[in-house]
Amino acid sequence: EAGVAQSPRYKIIEKRQSVAFWCNPISGHATLYWYQQILGQGPKLLIQFQNNGVVDDSQLPKDRFSAERLKGVDSTLKIQPAKLEDSAVYLCASSIYGGSYGYTFGSGTRLTVV
């Protein structure tokens, strides 16, 4: 089966600019997650979707971050305006709800804000 697809792979922007990341999960996976991984740290959950509904966005900085999952498939994560501290790898993952094999992760998008 095809894996979780993410794009772009790398992105460099200036602070106060906007940026968007795209994720296409594994077909049939109802649950989709966006994680932020700052260099040297473990991934931190930003938002979790079940189909096209939000299950948890408690750690999403909603003043600048937004995410959507139209039609319960692809998802987009946006940052507007970006800050220097947003520099991180943004990982998308998908899973069958309750599966014992955890998530399947995409390759991530490495964002650098200068």
Q: Which residues bind other proteins (CB under 8 A)?
A: 31, 33, 41-45, 48, 55-56, 89, 91, 93, 95, 97-98, 100-108, 110
Query: Minimum Å distance from CB 81 to other proteins?
Result: 25
Q: Evaluate whether 52 touches 67 at the Cβ level (below 8 Å).
A: no
User: β-strands 109-113, 10-13: how paired?
Assistant: parallel
Query: Minimum Å distance from CB 57 to other proteins?
Result: 11
Nearer to other proteins, 57 or 74 (CB): 57
Q: What is the DSSP letter of 52?
A: T
Query: In 3-state terms, what secondary structure has residue 70?
Result: helix
Query: Minimum Å distance from CB 71 to other proteins?
Result: 21
